[in-house]
Structure 1
Amino acid sequence: MAAYRLTVRAAQVSRARRAVVAVGLGAALLAGSAACGGGSSGEDASSDAGTDITVSHGYTDAEADALKTQADKWNTENPTMKVNLLFNGGNDSALQKTVAGFTAGNYPDVAYEYGSSAAQLARQPKLVDLTDKVKASGFNWDDFYPSERQASTVNGKVVGIPALVDDLSLVYNKKLFAAAGVPEPTNDWTWEQFRDAAKKLSNPSTKTYGWAYVNDGSEDTVWRYLAMLWQAGGEMLSGDNTKPAFDSPAGLAALQQLHDMAVTDKSVYLDTGNGNYSNLFNSGKIAMLWTGPWDLSSINDDVQYGVTYLPGYNGNHETISGPDLYMLFDHSKAGVNTAVKFVSWLTSAPVHLDFAIATGDLPLRKSETTLPGYQTFLSKYPAEKVFVANLDNVKHVRPNLASYAEVSTAVGQMVQSVLLGQAEPAAALKTGSQAVASVLAGS
């Protein structure tokens, strides 16, 4: 596994951080553009035929090349329904670019969007409701992982088709474990075993740490906490997303674990959001990371590492995922027809598996793992096997609500205060809960 190299995302930052970076600005833009919109469903309404469409995306490097290859193949086979790819400058700006397009009247037919943007864009009158379309014969909606389907659904309406899925797993340095005489992690590890190992793997005098935690207060800070909250049986918000629910025994257990490791044991390197944890992992200064497949490309070839599930609470090893979506917008009946057919084809099991083999992205559909080409995927990206299996440990998704960015900020500040030793867990929970209640009351 030491020689394993992921070929993409060399400069990609954590998906957790990127997944909400656009939401706040997008909400403001969206409010001013909801009544605007180019095109009309009345155009070409008498025809079920396809027409050329524009697909906006932020892919670069291997992913951009793979998408172009697939678009070229589609265009060759479907000359009356051609796809024109439009680079939007990067997926971080996808929401702003799409919303600006509504104002200017040049919005795309299909846009790659972060899942956290779904609730914002669900307000757009030009959004194509896919609820009935995913039920069509042959679409196999249930073949997508549950987390992807949840992230694609807002208020019971399917607003997008899954474009990418990932999850958090534990990545560890085998050499450091061997040197410390600590048994390597397993998929059955508990919080207690994790804490004990991190403490044994830490040495303040050499500035060596058992674990790293991004503690800039961003979504990177939040979503590791959320995995722990859910493992302990807690929820971020109430079922109707109107009240905070994390000021609970589960919320306290998760914050207490973080406090005990960072403040009491001093076994956690607190990254400020600059991604330095990756360099420290490579240099043998950090033994364990909770990260996703996007970080594997930054691990040096000479680092022997392994991957397991996250340590669990009472046998629950739940993780968190950040699915992204293809969202479709209505210019005409013919345009919607082409968009639905193209995205259905693009995300079909054999076509997406080709994309995964070319890029290292995880399979979107469960059936991809049963196709012969999946063994090619695993031989090319052996460390991905655990990440794929870990998708079955995703039971929740982040709340689909327009004010999620503000909710995340409040929770991120809460977790940050505990990790820095500025607040005790119980007090931080109350402060954080009050802040989130205030956000939800004003949304």
Structure 2
Amino acid sequence: MSLDAIQEFIMTRARRSNLRSVVAGATVTLVAVGALVACSSSGGGGASSGGTTITLTHGYTDAEATELTALAKQWNTANPDAKVVLAFNGGNDSALQKTVAGFAAGNYPDIAYEYGSSSAQLATQPKLVDLTEKVKASGFNWDDFYPSEQQAASVNGKVVGIPALVDNLSLVYNKKLFTAAGLAPPTNDWTWQDFRTAAAKLTNAGQHQYGWSYVNDGSEDTVWRYLAMLWQAGGDLLTSDNSKPAFDSPAGLAALQQLHDMAVTDKSVYLDTGNQNYLNLFNGGKIAMLWTGPWDLSSINSDVQYGVAYLPSDNGDHETISGPDLYMLFDRSAARTDTAVKFITWLTSPTIHLQFATATGDLPVRKSETTLPGYKTFLTKYPAEQVFVDNLDNVKHVRPNIPQYAQVSTAVGQMVQSVLLGQATPEAAIKSGASAVTAALAGS
């Protein structure tokens, strides 16, 4: 298989969030060739006439790239003997491939921004810096990060990265469409039945208007909404040792049945092909509700009045899914690792990260950021993100940090897709999906 074919399989359509990435799984070991990480001239020795220089690779663009550049400049001014050079890696979707290629060429970064789903692959790299003891250092305050971030940053009990970004799914709705349908807006106490009933009433086939949208291309973008429902129903994706599927359960079936009932029976769901057209339709008043994250808010037209609420629940559980991204560190020398640890500790400290969040609209990664005076400025600038921040407390599970997750995700995505398209009953689909996941976990 060619490098381009592999990348096409695993790259996401998402703008930035790991939560929406198609995860780079076992196929990553095949891409230790190709484009090298652009680590600048400091990639060799790392020592300049003024001291130590390290490289951080990232795929940020727009406001995030601008603010990260400003913060690196701020650090370099204050630390002339421990400088940071930023290197754009072409986009976060290709970060894992380029980092692995850099290992093969001996030209890898000191710090790399990676999707959290890449952690299991990179955890096997001998140059990875084990941060388990470093996050226990005085003043680091590891427990200040949200529990889901800590879990996503850990593989087999080892801390392999520092949270760089956190997202979650919430319910975003068009207020005007609810008013026109004579419906009260969603609340944080909504049930699955409340959601289904409202979606049906908000659907008008003659006007091509739908109550809800679901990305149904079979990718991770299809999987993550299902996972939130699975967890809400009391189920899990895999067994506790990650050796077998666990979603072939009453909880997994209930989640699929809800999707079937809305998409096939009620026909209240617009099935997006993965081209993100749901945003255009939401802006045009043709979709009433989305399950999405803060990354989509900037794409909602200013004339659209919208609100945000928790995801509807099963049995009072409003669990959501989060996709933390990570800064992962790689050893080039003791001096460079020491500088990298100090820089990332500073970059993700409450005051500095809140400065980054206020400039970009990213959510706080530390709980204490919400207690700082500057948090009021953040909420004034991004009032709709209050619910997303509060919703971080509804994240109870993370996706398994295993090398086979890409294959697991593909199997589950195809299972959900078949139900939404009416090609398989929930019972048949879950049986087929479990069989495919069993084979993926077994390596066959």
Same topology, TM > 0.5: yes
Deviation of 1:21 after TM superposition, in Å, equals: 4.8
Query: How far off its partner does 1:156 sit?
Result: 0.4
Pairwise CA distance, 1:25: 3.9
- 1:265 paired residue number: 266
The match for 1:5 is none
Contact 2:309–2:387 (Cα < 8 Å) also in 1: yes
Aligned to 1:39: none
Residue from 12, 15, 18 that aligns with 1:13 = 15
Structure 1 position 160 matched with structure 2 position 161: yes
Aligned to 1:27: 29
Shift of 1:24: 5.0
Contact 1:174–1:304, Cα closer than 8 Å, also in 2: yes
Runs of 4+ in 1 over 6 A off after TM superposition: none
Deviation per CA, 1:292-312: give whole Å up to 9, x if none.
Answer: 001111100000000000001
Counterpart AA for 1:387? F
CA distance in structure 1 between the aligned counterparts of 2:33 and 2:68, rounded to whole angstroms: 32
Tell me the percent identity.
Answer: 76
| Structure 1 residue 391: Cα displacement | 0.3
Measured after TM superposition, the shift of residue 20 of structure 1 is 2.7
Structure 2: runs of 5+ lacking an equivalent: 1-12, 35-44
Secondary structure class of the residue paired with 1:82: strand
Give me the CA root mean square deviation: 1.7
Provide the C-alpha distance between the structure 2 equivalents of 1:27 and 1:407, rounded to a whole number of angstroms.
17
Give the letter aligned to residue 135 of structure 1. Answer: K
1:395 aligned residue: 396
Shift in Å, 1:95 = 0.3
Residues 54, 86 of structure 1: 8 Å contact kept? yes
Q: Secondary structure of the residue that 1:326 maps to in structure 2?
A: strand
Query: Equivalent residue of 2:82, what SS?
Result: coil
Amino acid aligned to 2:222:
T
Pairing 1:209–2:210 present: yes
Counterpart in 2 of 1:177? 178
> What displacement does 1:30 show?
5.8
Deviation digits for residues 259-298 of structure 1, max 9, x if unmatched?
0000000000000000000000000000000000011111
Asked if the contact 1:14/1:220 (under 8 Å) is kept, the reply is: no
Distance 1:16 1:333, change over 3 A: closer
Say which SS state the counterpart of residue 85 (structure 2) adopts: strand
CA-to-partner distance for each residue in 1:366-420, whole Å, 9 max, x for gaps?
Answer: 0000000000000000101000000000000001001101100000000000000
In the TM superposition, what are the counterparts of 1:55-134 in structure 2 within 5 Å?
55-134=56-135
Return the alpha-carbon distance in structure 2 between the equivalents of residues 210 and 147 of structure 1: 30
Helix, strand or coil for the counterpart of 2:15? coil
What CA distance in whole angstroms lies between the structure 1 residues aligned with 2:254 and 2:14?
32
Quick one: which amino acid aligns to residue 302 of structure 1? D
Q: Is the 8 A contact 1:25 1:96 kept in 2?
A: no
Which residue number corresponds to residue 251 of structure 1?
252
Aligned 1:320-339 pairs, distance under 5 A: 320-339=321-340
- Matches of 2:379 and 2:179, distance apart in 1: 26
More contact order relative to length (CA 8 Å, sep ≥ 6): 1
> Is 1:382 paired with 2:383?
yes
Kindly indicate whether the alpha-carbon contact (under 8 Å) linking 1:16 and 1:223 is maintained by their aligned counterparts in 2: no
Return the letter of the residue paired with 1:73: Q
The alignment partner of 2:31 has SS state of: helix
Alignment-mate amino acid for residue 260 of structure 1: D
Which amino acid in structure 2 is aligned with residue 337 of structure 1?
D
The AA in structure 2 aligned to 1:386 is V
Q: Is the 8 A contact 1:309 1:390 kept in 2?
A: yes
- 2:17 maps to a residue whose letter is R
Hey, what's the Cα distance between the residues in 2 that align with 1:110 and 1:398? 23
Is 1:361 the equivalent of 2:362?
A: yes
Q: TM-score, normalised by structure 1?
A: 0.92
Matches of 1:203 and 1:360, distance apart in 2: 34
Aligned to 1:305: 306
